[in-house]
Amino acid sequence: MTVLMGGMMMGGIGACGAMGIVGAVVGGLLGLALLALLVLGIVWLARQLRAPQAGQSADALEVVGREYASGRLTREEYLQRREDLTARSS
């Protein structure tokens, strides 16, 4: 029985040895590619969540300007808010 199993194992390794190595290499490369895509996706998502959307800063500046023009903000409050908004966007 031991001889039979040893012969089957040797036959299995001999018949699939090359494909086993190629399969392992290809599988490893695919795994690395998927991992790289996952990391890039996380980095992209983090940047999207941190960065203000285009036009947000300008919209906020317009709102502050309207509030100042309507008299709801003092000059000092307006200047402080405008400074805060422009410092964040740059």
Quick: pLDDT tens for 18-57: 678 888 899 999 999 999 999 999 999 988 887 666 556 6
**pLDDT at residue 13, rounded to an integer:** 54
- With beta carbons less than 8 A apart as the criterion, state whether 64 and 85 touch: yes
* Residues 90, 76 share a domain: yes
Classify residue 70: in a domain, yes or no. Answer: yes
Classify residue 1: in a domain, yes or no. Answer: no
Classify residue 13: in a domain, yes or no. Answer: no
Classify residue 5: in a domain, yes or no. Answer: no
Helices 75-89 and 56-70 sit at what angle, rounded to 10 degrees? 180
**pLDDT at residue 36, rounded to an integer:** 96
Q: Over 38-83, what HEC string results?
A: HHHHHHHHHHHHHCCCCCHHHHHHHHHHHHHHHCCCCHHHHHHHHH
Could you give the maximum distance between any two Cα atoms of the chain, in Å? 97
Classify residue 10: in a domain, yes or no. Answer: no
Report the predicted TM-score, pTM, of the whole model to 2 decimal places.
Answer: 0.41
Distance between CA atoms of residues 47 and 41, nearest Å: 10
Residues of the chain with pLDDT > 90, as a percent, come to 44
* Residues 60, 44 share a domain: no
- Full domain range(s) for residue 71: 54-90
Classify residue 73: in a domain, yes or no. Answer: yes
- Count how many domains the chain has: 2
